[in-house]
Chain A
Amino acid sequence: DGGITQSPKYLFRKEGQNVTLSCEQNLNHDAMYWYRQDPGQGLRLIYYSQIVNDFQKGDIAEGYSVSREKKESFPLTVTSAQKNPTAFYLCASSNSRQSRYQPQHFGDGTRLSIL
């Protein structure tokens, strides 16, 4: 069954530590995205990638980094520079090669908390 897998579902980080969130898709989608959701707010775009080895900053990229070495994988690192990392993180992908007018498909998210 095709889909997007995010792991882990819950993650705890100590102050000053970097942590990496995993996102894998087997939908053969070219484009992948990372969003952050805070209570009472919509999804805010952190980074996105339209093709392998290329990615662009979204609206709130500070304190985050990504890589896109493989089409299937788009890991997000939350660095110690991110001052308020506690949030629900969502990864998505879309079939951008077919058309720009394609919906994004989402994983089930990772909830990151600071100890």
Chain B
Amino acid sequence: DQQVKQNSPSLSVQEGRISILNCDYTNSMFDYFLWYKKYPAEGPTFLISISSIKDKNEDGRFTVFLNKSAKHLSLHIVPSQPGDSAVYFCAASAGSGTYKYIFGTGTRLKVLA
């Protein structure tokens, strides 16, 4: 039972354009969501997060949108750069009283120069 789903295994975008990575979840108790970026043979690096009391959070070129009614979040990268090429994971906190995070399967982004 995959509670956090990233249905696109890969995405290619031209340099300078917008990259949109999507994530869906099934558990309505999730209240904190994060995006991580991962290069091969390295650990994931935290990018940006959003709590369920917000619907948007911005940090430089990265914006995360949360649609609670649709149980959907997305990461927008504008403008996309070749150095953004990596695997992106979304994760959700499993609810109050726990420090567990549920991760999606990842989307491989390739930014073409």
A residues bordering B, Cβ < 8 Å?
Answer: 4, 6, 9, 31, 33, 35, 40-45, 48, 50, 58, 90, 92, 94, 96, 100-101, 103-109, 111
Contacts and interface: CB of A to CB of B under 8 A. Distances in A.
A108 B41 contact: yes
Interface in B32-47: 32, 34, 36, 41-46
Given A42-B105, A106-B45, A101 B100 contact: no
Given A103-B49, A106-B43, A107-B43, A40 B34 contact: no
Contacts of A104: 46, 101
Contacts of A100: 32, 93, 96, 99
Interface in B1-41: 4, 6, 9, 32, 34, 36, 41
A100 B100 CA distance: 10
A101 B49 contact: yes
A91 to B, nearest CB: 8
Contact of B43 (A50, A90, A101): A90
B101 A45 contact: yes
Contacts of A96: 99
Nearest to A99: B32
B34 A103 contact: yes
Interface in B51-80: 51
A58 B42 CA distance: 22
Contacts of A33: 99
A41 B104 CA distance: 8
Residue with the highest number of chain B CB atoms closer than 10 Å, among A104, A108, A111: A104
29 contacts: A31-B99, A33-B99, A35-B103, A40-B105, A41-B105, A42-B4, A42-B6, A42-B89, A42-B103, A42-B104, A42-B106, A43-B89, A45-B101, A48-B99, A48-B100, A100-B93, A100-B96, A101-B32, A101-B49, A101-B51, A101-B93, A103-B46, A104-B101, A105-B46, A106-B36, A106-B44, A106-B45, A108-B41, A109-B42
A10 to B, nearest CB: 10
